[in-house]
Structure 1
Amino acid sequence: MTPDALLEWRPPHPTNLRETIGGLRRGPSDPTQREAPARAGERAAIWRTLRAPEGTASIRVAELDDGSLRCEGWGEGAAVAVAAAPELLGARDDARAFEPHLEGVRVTHRRHPGMRIPRTGYVFDALVPAILEQKVIVGQAQDAWRRLVCAYGDEAPGPVDARMRVAPAAATWQRLPSWAWHRAGVDPQRSRTIVRCAGRAAAIDRLAALPSTEARARLQSLPGIGVWTSAEVAQRALGDPDAVSVGDYHLAKHIGYALRGRDMTDAEMLEALEPWAGQRYRAVKLILMSGPRRPRRGAKLAYVDHRGY
């Protein structure tokens, strides 16, 4: 099927498609992002769906053998989505200021020059799954996301995998009945937070035009949105290379083990990351890729089936 919009470009820096936007996928069954079979001349390809102001869109982004990138789009929002593809794949990400400091980080940084920080530009769309992931097992949140998007999202335009959907519009999130949240395993606190934010979705999306620190402060002024959630959103929607997910159940422990061989508190983690100020999110990604892995031990978040209440 001929795309409604097409863009091919060669970025001034290496870009690894999977390492750059693979983390935007919310689990292996995320209906809004899936790997696509690579065509001749392609190293990798990924399908994504989104909702632009002009309408829904499906895009197929590909990393070509010669290092260039291609984005094809279908749907009413295709032109806007394709035009934004360079930012999605890290065009705004400037890693030149990054100083590895540690030999292990330096080696990993050199081995993965194509790992960029993506920027989707859609704050509300990044906020909903982040809220779903608050204080629950990641797999449980990903299952809720899949159930809700499949049940209440829109059909994805173009020649996409039949399992793909476009995430619900803000108005749809607002109208979901309590039993829909309950059936997906989402407790009232998280569902209320999403509904409240959906009522302000337009204003929330306008935060993408602000510096990340200001955008995060405004997000955190909303009930139910804290430091962890705003960081998760900033990493994806705003392309913030400095956003650290403070309050994460595991992150400080993993960073502590990689850097010091022991668990850390959030305060200790922030102190340890100070040499990378301005680039701490990038540092976290590289530290986790290069440092020793923390053994699985100790308390874990319990799976709480909210459908039973």
Structure 2
Amino acid sequence: MARVSIVRRLRPPERYRFAGSVGALTLGRQDPCGHFVGEGFWLAARTPDGPGTLHLSPAGGELAAEAYGPGAAWLAERADAVAGLRDDVTGFAPLAAAHPVVARLAVTFHGLRMPATGLVFPRLLRAILEQKVTGREAHRAYRAICRHFGEPAPGPVPLLLPPDPAAVAATPYWTFHPFGVEQRRTQALLRAAQAAARLERCVDGAEATRRMTAIPGIGPWTAAEVVRVAYGDPDAVSVGDFHIPNTVAWALAGEARGTDARMLELLEPFPGHRGRVCELLAAGGIGAPRFGPRMPVRSFARF
């Protein structure tokens, strides 16, 4: 395939935090589908127009966006959304002022923006794998699955395209066992892959959430993890998370432990931006005190 690219120049907001804004789209350098190289960020994607790769790089106060492959036009058009530049923070500052911690973080991380890829299945794949296991287990399984279904992405950097949902849907569940994924998560993943085309046609996060949570094995936590990245939904709260209720309770009320109900109660003063508040707490490194042993890392491949 000839190397053909489309280039756009984007104007980020004042004090824009590039790495922090797009960091949610990757697992770091070990992510086979996207990572930072130097100061630039590379992301491989299966777009409605075909495979493509997007490169974002800060340059002289601007953000250069270059896209490759059959999906280049689609990626170039969405480059500003992927970088978080369509994230509307209008009206958040007065809400943030309701709590001193949130107000301080809103100023400190003023340039942090929430990306919106417009693509559901890649993030849904990760979110399903992250259900009820440690991050290390989930990320190991994600990398193994991406390599198993790996197809080279277009462009000058060696990346893999995210797994094709049609290929995932056609794979027997036992294939995923050596990757460390037990039958429950595998079945949820296969159902999601079968519904991927309908999910990608959703017009907004609300419709996507309804369709995802109608799939057995996908609940509110998984849906929130997806719409926060695919649609840049600043209000998406990961109800059912192991850590976030404790973090919110500790940061906003000084309580070492919190339930989902308590978390939602404390987030009520921030309508439309509850997920953004959770992201700011994470960016600020705020975490509740830890008690007891950590969750053990298991290997389902050896079961």
Question: Is TM (by shorter chain) over 0.5?
Answer: yes
CA distance in 1, matches of 2:17, 2:134: 29
Q: CA deviation at 1:107?
A: 2.3
Equivalent residue number for residue 26 of structure 1: 27
1:15 aligns with 2:10: no
Equivalent AA in structure 2 for residue 148 of structure 1: I
Equivalent AA in structure 2 for residue 283 of structure 1: V
After superposition, residues 289-308 of structure 1 pair within 5 angstroms as 289-290=283-284, 292-308=286-302
- What secondary structure is seen at the aligned counterpart in 2 of 1:228? helix
Equivalent residue number for residue 193 of structure 1: 188
Q: CA deviation at 1:291?
A: 7.1
Deviations 1:59-99 (A, max 9, x none): 11012232x11111111111111111111122331111212
Q: CA deviation at 1:158?
A: 1.2
Deviations 1:127-181 (A, max 9, x none): 1111111111111111111011112121021110x3x211111111112343430
Q: Is the 8 A contact 2:53 2:68 kept in 1?
A: yes
Aligned partner of 2:219 among 213, 216, 226: 226
CA distance in 2, matches of 1:290, 1:18: 15
TM-score (norm 2): 0.92
Deviations 1:262-309 (A, max 9, x none): 211111011011101110011112233447532332253332311123
Structure 1 unaligned residues grouped into runs of 5+: 38-43
After superposition, residues 98-113 of structure 1 pair within 5 angstroms as 98=92, 99-100=95-96, 101-113=98-110
Equivalent residue number for residue 54 of structure 2: 59
State the Cα RMSD in Å: 1.8
Equivalent residue number for residue 75 of structure 1: 69
Q: Is the 8 A contact 2:146 2:163 kept in 1?
A: yes
Deviations 1:41-63 (A, max 9, x none): xxx31111111122211111012
Report which stretch shifted further, 10-19 or 230-239.
10-19
Equivalent residue number for residue 124 of structure 1: 121
- What secondary structure is seen at the aligned counterpart in 1 of 2:113? coil
Q: Is the 8 A contact 1:51 1:166 kept in 2?
A: yes
Q: Is the 8 A contact 2:28 2:36 kept in 1?
A: no
Structure 2 unaligned residues grouped into runs of 5+: none
Q: Is the 8 A contact 2:27 2:35 kept in 1?
A: no
Between the two proteins, the alignment pairs up a number of residues equal to 298
CA distance in 2, matches of 1:300, 1:294: 14
CA distance in 2, matches of 1:167, 1:305: 23
Q: Is the 8 A contact 2:53 2:153 kept in 1?
A: yes
**Moved segments of 4+, more than 6 Å:** none
- What secondary structure is seen at the aligned counterpart in 2 of 1:142? helix
CA distance in 2, matches of 1:294, 1:175: 42
CA distance in 1, matches of 2:57, 2:49: 23
Q: CA deviation at 1:255?
A: 1.6
Equivalent residue number for residue 41 of structure 1: none
Q: Is the 8 A contact 1:240 1:281 kept in 2?
A: yes
Equivalent residue number for residue 140 of structure 1: 137
1:90 aligns with 2:102: no
TM-score (norm 1): 0.91
Q: Is the 8 A contact 1:32 1:49 kept in 2?
A: yes
Equivalent AA in structure 1 for residue 104 of structure 2: V
CA distance in 1, matches of 2:286, 2:165: 42
Aligned partner of 1:255 among 244, 248, 254: 248
CA distance in 1, matches of 2:15, 2:170: 43
CA distance in 2, matches of 1:12, 1:26: 25
CA distance in 1, matches of 2:4, 2:23: 23
CA distance in 2, matches of 1:222, 1:180: 21
Report which stretch shifted further, 174-183 or 110-119.
174-183
Equivalent AA in structure 1 for residue 233 of structure 2: D
Q: Is the 8 A contact 2:209 2:227 kept in 1?
A: yes
